[in-house]
Amino acid sequence: MRRHGTPLLAVSRSALRAQWDRFREAFPRVEPFYAVKANPNPAVLKLLAAAGASFDAASLAEIDAVLDAGAPASRIIFANTIKPSAAISGAAARGVDLMTFDSEYELDKIAAHAPGTRVIVRIKVPNVGSAIELSLKFGVEPADAIDLLIKAHKMDLRPVGVSFHVGSQCTRAENYVDALEMAAIILRDAHLKRLPIDIVDIGGGFPIPHFDREHDPFDDTVAVISQEIDRLFDANVRLIAEPGRFVVGPAGTLVMRVVGKAIRENKHWYYLDDGVYGALSGLMFDHAKYQYKALRDGNTQLSTLAGPTCDSLDIIARGEQLPELELGDIVYVPNIGAYSVATGTNFNGLPPAKVVTVP
């Protein structure tokens, strides 16, 4: 902190690698493609590229970041189902030939700007109980998937698979069960129609703990998903996934400093040098729930934490049990490596948290 100042997002290299290895061990049949959007920091991408990771990119800029990190284009899936035409042609020019789609209009664009590309249809699946319901915006009805795959084949594209996403921070294993069964039905129907579909992309959504460190929700879903995979898909089916939060979330700790203090509503208010417009943006955009800790001992009292901007929206948390803090004291947040600096801004001209890697 003396060297880098605050706010600071410290990403543990050992924790990042441990999460990556944990996913691989939990799902030996599934090839993970790290979701770059979770944290596109170059150091994070380089570490994962060196570990042999594949990558889920959602834009041309993310594709370039992955290539700069040393991963080949063959290990990238362009997994945004709505892509600008220039991004499609740009990805193809860089050697990326695996893309997702969920509409006829997207197929038209891919066929026009990246002929011969391998394509995966994304279907709409239940997102019940997930923190963010991605099915509200993405995915075709499962009943329409085969027709779109046939159309892709007729357009001289190469339909190769089906994908889904059960929603972010999914703690309901039934979502995966339902989605995997839908994907299996589509796969069997495609084979009957002689479509060479051999990829099932099970997306992301794998949860991490925020407040409750004694209970890890990931463990509850592993056995169920693995059992369904083995039941539904033979060894010739290639299974891939797009974990982001699960890989980088537990590896990140945000360090902030108290820059202001007041008594309001009969409570201590502490103003920190980062907030909801910065690395705590997950409070707004990601429905995240964080744990706030202080590097000071003492009796705790109900306190409010606020960010440094002039906007009254920038209130981080109310009713936190904290010891009385002084100007310059440290408040830190664990499990914040994902969707934090990635969605932060420079509102009010305040610089974002600096990202550094630590052992």
Active-site residue set:
310
Q: How far apart are alpha carbons 6 and 1 in whole angstroms?
A: 7
Give 182-203 as a DSSP string: HHHHHHHHHHHTT----EEE--
Half-sphere exposure of 242 (CA within 13 A, CB side): 25
For residue 13, give the nearest of 350, 337, 298 by alpha carbon.
337
For residue 353, give the nearest of 341, 336, 337, 339 by alpha carbon.
341
Residues 6+ apart with CB under 8 A from 110: 83, 88, 99, 101, 117, 119, 157
Burial class of residue 175, CB neighbours in 10 A (0-12, 13-18, 19+): buried
Residues 6+ apart with CB under 8 A from 330: 1, 6, 255, 256, 257, 258, 294, 295, 296
Structure tokens at 17: 């690698």
101 near 110, Cβ under 8 Å? yes
Helix/strand/coil for 135 = helix
Structure tokens at 64: 């370039």
